[in-house]
Structure 1
Amino acid sequence: MSKQADKIPTNIITGFLGVGKTTAIQQLLKQKPADETWGILVNEFGQVGIDGSLLSAFSDSLTDQTERIIVKEIPGGCLCCVAGLPMKMGLNMLISKAKPDRILIEPTGLGHLQQVIKDLSGEFYCDVLALNATICLVDPAHLNDAKYVDNNHFQDQISLADVLVANKTEQLESEDKHRFMDFAAQLSPAKQSVLWTHHGEISIDTLALPLDHQRRSQHLSAHLKHSHAHNQHEKKPLALDSDPRFERNHGDGQGLFSYGWVFNQQQVFNLMALATLLEPLEVVRLKAVIKTEQGCFAINSVNGECDFMPISELDASKIEIISMIELPWQKLEEALCDSLIFEL
């Protein structure tokens, strides 16, 4: 058996905040061969870590696959920050615990993708991982929005991607597709594959496409003068007395603010009251997994569109909000507590 065959096939699933990376991984997990074990490494900008809970809950829903899908979460910043230690520690634990047949890595939508790829293909992992195509999801509706297309992280994700995927296309018009295809056609070097999909539906065959080392080298050469300022996402205490019902978290960095709450296992929300509170919020992203009197739900809100999806049982409710401005978090916290109806 060749040395390459001994390595673990590994893909990075990237894209800007709210583009549907976690949903895409869920769709790929549905296609996982039953006899394979997959490891999922998730990195989030916020401190609470919702995506890991979503993926774990999703894996629990797949019959007889719970032990075949291992999720490791690294909240609160970029995988490659602090000399790459968070990624190395998380990845090493994932490899030793899961002994996976394949690894999928979901960096934060504001991570330094170039450095992540460099670390994964460097000497520390070159004999362990077979780094395949980097898959970047894009919301075509954002291609006319300067706050996205002018963002350095967005540009790096597009440039470094081997596969470009237009996601969230179910309500877009044909002219949106033409605009996206024109955008993709102008990229140089050309992508190995350009896809138009919805709900993160990507074929498992896409994972076998190779990483384009020439593209990575060209990108690095073009950015030699671009400093890699990590601007670590700092965790800061919120000045308020502790509450036995929950733990609060706060962080900021790269021009964004995150606010998170982890409620203890006894806390149950009124679904309608919570929906009434969360749906009008104008934030960059809102994610949650919650226990309610009507069951457990995952909440995902991007650009004012709030979706509620039933999920399996939870240990605890988690809510995370990411905003471009500081929020009146004390009032928000009080309103969240007012949405609690009883303790189990």
Structure 2
Amino acid sequence: MEQPKKINVYIITGFLGSGKTTVLNNLLKQFSTEKNVVIENEFGKINIDATLINGTFEFVYELTNGCICCSINNQLLETLTRIHTLENQPDNLFIETTGIADAGEIAANFTALYVAEAFDLKKIITVVDAENILFYKDSNIEVTKQIVAAGTVIINKSALVASEIITDIKDFIQAINPYTTIILSNDGSLDRMNLEIENSQKPLTPATIYKSESVHKIKTMLYETDDFFDIQKLKYELFKNLYLYYHQIYRIKGYVLNAENEVFLVQTTGKTVVISPVENQLILKSQLVFIGKELELKTIERLLKSAIVKNKKLQLF
């Protein structure tokens, strides 16, 4: 009797702001002739990245307010069961993890007998940010764990740093995972043919090297307001504070409104701030997610105060 076809699984991981969603979008375009489903995991209460996914896919399953490698691991297993019982079985499952996920812990779910019968874990893809990886590696064990587990490592935004830095990054990667395939990318591009390349040896899972911890030291804060933003002042304040506190604020992302009710997407990585207008995105209030260490809501409110333009509707009362 012919065995039922398994669902191919690709785990896309990488530290905060490395470009995971861009890699996911590029792969979805290349798999456009197949049936794809996506699991999008976000550490905070809202999932900004899920709104940025484009390409060909059947469903996006959002797992928020926790990391699937620890606190909401059961939700992952429940979601896998739902996918397996779909009437029209997908060909591929893409999992985009949080920026602080332990990819080895997630991959371990696919070794369970009842999961392995339905899913075939093809590749763990780890994305690293060429501009920031060497800074983050010493203060965040998650960076190392993600690389150790990877079958493929993408050095993203590679054109933004000198060749000597790229060499240092390669040396760091190969020192902890000599069996992974390293690919340079400027824009998160990855040829799907690279996913078919067999690694010379299966990388060690992080659990074989590090004691796994279920609680991450990194904190996420959600800032919400009904007021409007002066976009130029917001960009200045974020740039100024990231320059001063880049060692504490790893990532900021979200949507904000200006006084004309126009929507802007805010994304930061390291000291880089990008604020761009967005069409066909309806929001009722501005929401920004801050991810980093020792974050406090009062500090965030003070940081953003000068960029706020009071909501005119509220001033009528």
Q: Which amino acid in structure 1 is aligned with residue 280 of structure 2?
A: E
Q: Distance in 2 between matches of 1:177 and 1:44?
A: 29
CA contact (8 A) 1:133 1:163 kept: yes
Structure 2 gap segments, 5+ residues each: 243-248
Structure 1 gap segments, 5+ residues each: 232-253
Farther off after superposition, 8-17 or 177-186: 177-186
User: Which string of whole-angstrom CA distances, capped at 9 and with x for unpartnered residues, describes residues 16-71 of structure 1?
Assistant: 111111121122223232x323211121222221111222xxx2xx5xx5xx3422
User: What does residue range 24-63 of structure 1 map to in structure 2 within 5 Å?
Assistant: 24-33=23-32, 35-55=33-53, 59=54
Q: Distance in 2 between matches of 1:94 and 1:341?
A: 46
Q: Distance in 2 between matches of 1:37 and 1:342?
A: 46
Aligned to 1:260: 222
Aligned-pair CA distance for 1:93? 4.0
Aligned to 1:278: 238
Aligned to 1:129: 119
Aligned to 2:101: 111
RMSD: 3.1
Aligned-pair CA distance for 1:169? 1.2
Aligned-pair CA distance for 1:104? 1.0
CA contact (8 A) 2:179 2:201 kept: no
Aligned to 1:175: 164
Change (3 A) 1:96 1:275: farther
Change (3 A) 1:69 1:168: farther
Q: Secondary structure at the match of 1:125?
A: helix
Q: Which amino acid in structure 1 is aligned with residue 39 of structure 2?
A: L
CA contact (8 A) 1:291 1:314 kept: no
CA contact (8 A) 1:132 1:209 kept: no
Q: 2:203 aligns with which of 194, 209, 215?
A: 215
User: What does residue range 1-344 of structure 1 map to in structure 2 within 5 Å?
Assistant: 3=3, 6-33=5-32, 35-55=33-53, 59=54, 65=56, 68-82=57-71, 84-94=73-83, 96=85, 99-145=89-135, 147-149=136-138, 151-191=140-180, 193-209=181-197, 214-216=202-204, 220=207, 222-223=208-209, 226-231=210-215, 254-261=216-223, 269-282=229-242, 283-292=249-258, 293=260, 295-316=262-283, 317-327=286-296, 328-332=299-303, 338=309, 340=311
Change (3 A) 1:189 1:179: closer
Instruction: Show structure 1 runs of 4+ deviating over 6 A.
Output: none
Q: Which amino acid in structure 2 is aligned with residue 111 of structure 1?
A: A
Q: With structure 2 as the length reference, what TM-score do the two structures score?
A: 0.81
Aligned-pair CA distance for 1:177? 2.4
Q: Distance in 2 between matches of 1:287 and 1:338?
A: 20
Change (3 A) 1:117 1:184: same
CA contact (8 A) 1:11 1:133 kept: yes
CA contact (8 A) 2:7 2:93 kept: yes
Q: Distance in 2 between matches of 1:256 and 1:52?
A: 21
Q: Distance in 1 between matches of 2:313 and 2:280?
A: 17
Q: Distance in 2 between matches of 1:261 and 1:168?
A: 28
User: Which string of whole-angstrom CA distances, capped at 9 and with x for unpartnered residues, describes residues 223-258 of structure 1?
Assistant: 3xx443211xxxxxxxxxxxxxxxxxxxxxx33332
Q: Distance in 2 between matches of 1:299 and 1:270?
A: 13
Q: Which amino acid in structure 2 is aligned with residue 168 of structure 1?
A: K
Q: With structure 1 as the length reference, what TM-score do the two structures score?
A: 0.75
Q: Which amino acid in structure 1 is aligned with residue 113 of structure 2?
A: E
Q: Distance in 1 between matches of 2:109 and 2:6?
A: 16
CA contact (8 A) 2:241 2:303 kept: no
Change (3 A) 1:255 1:183: closer
Q: Which amino acid in structure 2 is aligned with residue 229 of structure 1?
A: E
CA contact (8 A) 1:296 1:312 kept: yes
Change (3 A) 1:188 1:207: closer
Q: Distance in 2 between matches of 1:53 and 1:262?
A: 17
